Amino acid sequence: MSESTHSAKPTARAGFGLSLKGRALRLLAAREHSRGELERKLAAHAETPEQLAQVLDELQAKDFISEARVVESVINRRAARFGAARIRYELLNKGLSAGAVADAVRRLKGSELERARVIWSKKFDGPASDAAGRAKQMRFLAGRGFRGDVICRVVTQTEDD
């Protein structure tokens, strides 16, 4: 190899690579991340906690980090497969504020019965004929994060809303 090939990436060979801001932007380009997620993922790459806070403050000021967009992203990706309890758990693990999470859960509860019916109908052919079958269907929906009253209405095919 020629000498120019060796000197083309001296910083990468020296162990430097992307800046902290570059790493954050790469993560944000893939999907929406909350500030808490970025802090966890980037902490090992920051020289000091103050440096990390400064980069995240700058990104938040430029609206690259948005709590509202993270909430909408999770809801759009997960609502068709999971109930409000499961989505609430995911949002809380992302480090979002309790108010934003509570608002998202409140919006999800309005469509929870219909979403549970769709998920149930994709998985099962119809109502179970025995108690063991109903229990299996209930466990399935509970594992997806649906409320107990919604689960009972779906499995027993109760139509009252």
pLDDT for position 15: 44
In a domain, 9, yes or no: no
**45 is in which domain, residue-wise?**
18-65
Decide: helix, strand or coil at residue 113: helix
Instruction: Kindly tell me if the per-residue pLDDT of 4 is higher than 90.
Output: no
Residues 37 and 106 in one domain: no
Shared domain for 61 and 76, answered yes or no, is no
Separation CA 57–CA 49 (nearest Å) = 12
What token pair was written down for 103?
């608002």
Residues 35 and 114 in one domain: no
Torsion sign, CA atoms 58, 28, 93, 99: positive
Q: Within this chain, do residues 38 and 98 fall inside the same structural domain, yes or no?
A: no
Residues 61 and 86 in one domain: no
pLDDT above 90: residue 158: no
Residues 48 and 91 in one domain: no
pLDDT value of residue 126 = 87
DSSP-derived secondary structure for 52-107:
HHHHHHHHHHTTSS-HHHHHHHHHHHHTTT--HHHHHHHHHHTT--HHHHHHHHHH
For residues 52 and 120, state if they share a domain: no
Q: Between these two residues, 138 and 17, which has the higher pLDDT value?
A: 138
Please indicate, yes or no, whether residues 30 and 72 belong to a single structural domain of this protein.
Answer: no
Do residues 25 and 97 both lie within one domain?
A: no
Residue 5: is its pLDDT beyond 90?
Answer: no
Domain co-membership, 60 together with 129: no
Say if 160 falls within a structural domain.
no
For the whole model, what pTM was predicted? Answer: 0.79
The Cα–Cα gap between 137 and 38 comes to 38
Co-location of 48 and 76 in the same domain: no
The pLDDT score that the predictor gives to residue 18 is: 80
Residue 61 lies in a domain: yes
* The predicted structure's pLDDT at residue 7: 45
Contact 78/95 with Cβ under 8 angstroms? no
Is 93 within 8 Å of 78 (Cβ atoms)?
no
Both 34 and 56 in one domain: the answer is yes
Predicted local confidence at residue 98, as pLDDT: 93
Mean pLDDT, rounded, of the chain: 88
How many whole angstroms separate alpha carbon 133 and alpha carbon 138? 9
Measured CA to CA, the distance from residue 93 to residue 135 in angstroms comes to 29
| Digit-coded pLDDT (tens) for 32-76 | 999 999 999 999 999 999 999 999 999 999 999 999 999 999 999
Which CATH number is 60's domain given?
Answer: 1.10.10.10
For residues 32 and 2, the model is more confident at 32
